[in-house]
Structure 1
């Protein structure tokens, strides 16, 4: 089977798995809220999750919102999303495009994604303790035309833009390096009603900012 066909199959099945798996537990376990457990600071969190593997993403941190370990998908199972109530799952297919996809069910850690806002600082922690810095630059909400179909089209709730599942994947997971947080939007008793995507781009260094400002002045 051609790689493009494999990729298309993974893309179209992901939305269904994210939503249907959430309905399998009769008594979903809610993720901890900030009132129930105080978050560690970034340094303490980084020490807790690192394992010496420099190329393995081990944690994601947003101050006063979450400090979550990152779990990996099993090989050849790009539709797997963990039911661990205090973790996120790295989307392996996004990694093939040089980006970081982080998935969680909306009744578990995915609920935290709704608390992210424009400009929020995000830190990725790797196995060797290295930290990569990002800022939230985009928040997108889509309604699924057929919530339980792998071929569902989507409508942007803000712009009314209409996208196929494949086009939506390309929009949120391809392009220059970034993080994509993905979870489901529940509405009218339907936990599969829509999708939330939060995009965070690499934080610019001072030299990069200076160069950008200089370029804007010259133009």
Structure 2
């Protein structure tokens, strides 16, 4: 994918990701996936990706919006990585991992993500990192499971995540957060169901926040 975007001479970092579910996705069904890319030559040089998932009848069931930031390896060496403290949470911290190199390699193969920051130590060092890092989407993809451990009746409609700092391979992930807004459900006949906005912090066992996500969801109570 990186090569197809013409980004082979640059280091690519995923800055944010948004999933919007228009309908539920089911197992044993065929889906089509299309991606459009737009590159913006700004001071930070951004690439915007819009992915569309359609069912066998052509209906859009989900959209994915990705923001990539690119820079040259020589400029990356001068970038300082500063730890950010983990904000306070209001529900118990849920822990997973450690995420090892075998899991990272499996995710790369399944997602077709060939970004060398996850597989080539020399590229990682050129970007100012101490070693290989896990995929941001691998970390973000575990948010739903963490939320369901805390609130099993949750139905997620949209996830948006901002990536703050890279996560080294071998790290454990800790999920914390809180409900920032709750409203009665606008779905007819939903009874006591609520619409929730949650904020989730994905941090590492090294004590810094790696991703902040906002989730729109329904809780059936």
Q: Tell me the TM-score normalized by structure 1.
A: 0.26
Structure number having the greater helix percentage = 1
Structure number having the greater strand percentage = 2
Q: Tell me the TM-score normalized by structure 2.
A: 0.26
